[in-house]
């Protein structure tokens, strides 16, 4: 199956979403379990504004999703495809 130009554009957009260490760290943390912004701030040592901005981008790219839980939003990986993609990239870099 030949890759269509629109699919190539979308793949490049998703890959650009992984182009910052902060976003990769957030996704790697979400591999473990869902988390709130406050938990991500505490665990990753980033500011609230930084985490929120990166989560907005990850949500836009359908890599992360948020579910309201009272006054908080709990973030998780969008689906098992994202989990698999991150795990594959980790295996690749550790193998290389």
CA trace torsion 43, 38, 63, 19 (10° rounding)? -50
Give the chain's mean pLDDT. Answer: 95
pLDDT in tens, 43-88: 999 999 999 999 999 999 999 999 999 999 999 999 999 999 999 9
Residue 89's CATH number: 1.10.10.10
Q: How many domains does the chain have?
A: 1
Residues spanned by the domain of 50? 5-95
- The whole-number pLDDT of residue 1 equals 77
Cα distances from 93 to residues 64, 77, 79, in angstroms, run 22, 21, 22
What phi and psi, each to the nearest 5 degrees, are found at residue 30? -70, -15
Please tell me the pTM assigned to this model.
Answer: 0.92
Confidence of residue 5 (pLDDT cuts 50, 70, 90): very high
């Amino acid at each position: 199956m030949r890759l269509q130009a629109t699919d190539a554009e979308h793949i490049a957009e998703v890959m650009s979403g992984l182009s910052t260490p902060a976003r990769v760290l957030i996704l790697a943390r979400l591999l473990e379990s869902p988390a709130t912004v406050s938990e991500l701030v505490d665990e990753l040592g980033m500011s609230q504004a930084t985490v929120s901005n990166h989560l907005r981008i990850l949500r836009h790219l359908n890599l992360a999703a948020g579910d309201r839980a009272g006054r908080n939003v709990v973030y998780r990986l969008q689906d098992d495809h994202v989990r698999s993609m991150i795990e594959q990239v980790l295996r690749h870099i550790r193998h290389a």
